[in-house]
Amino acid sequence: MTTSSERPFIYAPPVEPYLTVLHKDEDILVLDKPSGLLSVPGRPLEHRDCLASRAQEQFPSATVVHRLDLDTSGVIVMALHRKAHRHLGLQFERRKTQKTYIARVWGQVEKDEGRVDLPLTIDWPNRPKHIVDHETGRPSQTDWQVMDREAVATRMRLTPITGRSHQLRVHMLALGHPIIGDPLYAPDDAFHAAPRLQLHAESLTLHHPKDGELVTFTVPCPF
C-alpha cells in the first residue's frame, strides 16, 4: 500500500476561475476557494500564489480571518479593515460562527447521524498530519449526518463544533471512513476513487461586523 509520504506533492493551483467573489461590501469579502489553491502563501517561492494574494490584487486591504485546507473547496470570508478583522476573529475564536461541510467518505456508514468527540494534536514526526491523542490532544467535536449512501461511499453533512486543523479528515478516519481523495489520510483505494479531496465547505453563517446581523453564505457542492 502506498503511504501518504510516498505520494508526490506538486503545487499546481487552478487558474480558471482565478477568483470567485460571492459577496463584497464595505466590511467583508466572501470567496469561493477552489480545491488545490492554498488559503495563504506557503514558504517556497513557488507556493506564493494563494487565495489571499489573489484577493489582495483586487482588494488590497483584504486580510485572512480563517483558512481552508489546500484540497478543500468552498466558502471563506476575509476582512476589509481592522475593525472587521477583529470582529470576525473573535467570532471564530468564540465559536459564534457555524460552518457546514459536504464530504464523501469511503465505505458504508451504518448509523444515520452522530458525533465524533476525539482530541487532536499534530503528528510531529509525520507533519502536517494530525492524530487522535487522548493525553495531549485538544478537545475536538464534529457532528455528522448521512445524506446519501452510494455503492462504495457515503455522502455526509459535517458540522464542526471546534475548528482544529484537519479535524474533519481525522475524525472521519477515526470513524472508520476516510474522506475519498484525501492524499494524507486515505488508503490507496479511497485515495484513487476521486480526482480531488471530497470535502467542501458548503455554508458559513456569521454575524456581520457592521450590525451584528446573522448572515449565511453558501456555495453548492461541486462533486
Residues designated catalytic: 69
State the cell numbers at 216.
449565511
State the cell numbers at 46.
513557488
43 Cβ neighbours under 8 A, 6+ residues apart: none
State the cell numbers at 110.
451504518
Alpha-carbon 215 to chain mean position: 19
Q: 126 and 152 in contact (C-beta within 8 Å)?
A: no
Sign of the four-CA dihedral 84, 87, 89, 92: negative
Instruction: Return left, alpha or beta for 95; rule: phi > 0 is left, psi -120 to 50 is alpha, else beta.
Output: left
